[in-house]
Amino acid sequence: PQALPQTGVPVIEVDADLTTVQQLARLLPALGERMPISAAAEVFAQTFDAVLCDLDGSLIDSTASVTRCWRRWAAHYGVSDEALQANHGRPARVLVASLIAPALRAEAAARIERMEVDDAGGVRPVRGGAEFWASLPEEKRAVVTSGTVPIASARLAAGGLARPAVWVTAEQVARGKPDPE
């Protein structure tokens, strides 16, 4: 008997936890829409001693995971979506401190960290992120993130990216984003 030809339909995943704008940012490149990059751009003519990479959104696409976890966390503590969105992008300890009563802060911070570590299994590198990371000499690269070591470790592992020898995490800074520390 003759083997049947392989058939297939390209599949592009869409995550319902993302906004329409976030979904389009994923879908358009998957459909071939790309931003033009000029090889003549000044950055390509420069030499750098090392490269510091943000993790979430730069190397790892964790947006849906972060959104899911923080929504569940907010629902558990009765925090409104508006209050959550107004504080988005800040280190978890800062966000928790601004939204939760002092007596519950330690538990609330531990809960969101557990949730984000547990949900990290589905994250993937951003397009080209794994290749970019692998192209950098190990001694010349670092991860700089407002996430904690457990969260960053879980996301790097899920994305198949090697853990860096050098990184700066939330535990190492007194003031998080947007402070340049």
Query: Which sequence positions are flagged as catalytic?
Result: 54, 56
Query: Which secondary-structure segment (H or E) carries 167?
Result: strand 166-168
Residue 129 CA to residue 107 CA, distance in Å, equals 34
**Closest Cα partner for 74 from 107, 99, 104?**
99
What are the tokens at 155? 């996301």
Q: Exposure pattern of 53-75 as b/e (b: 16+ CB <10 Å)?
A: bebbebbbbbbbbbbbbbeebbe
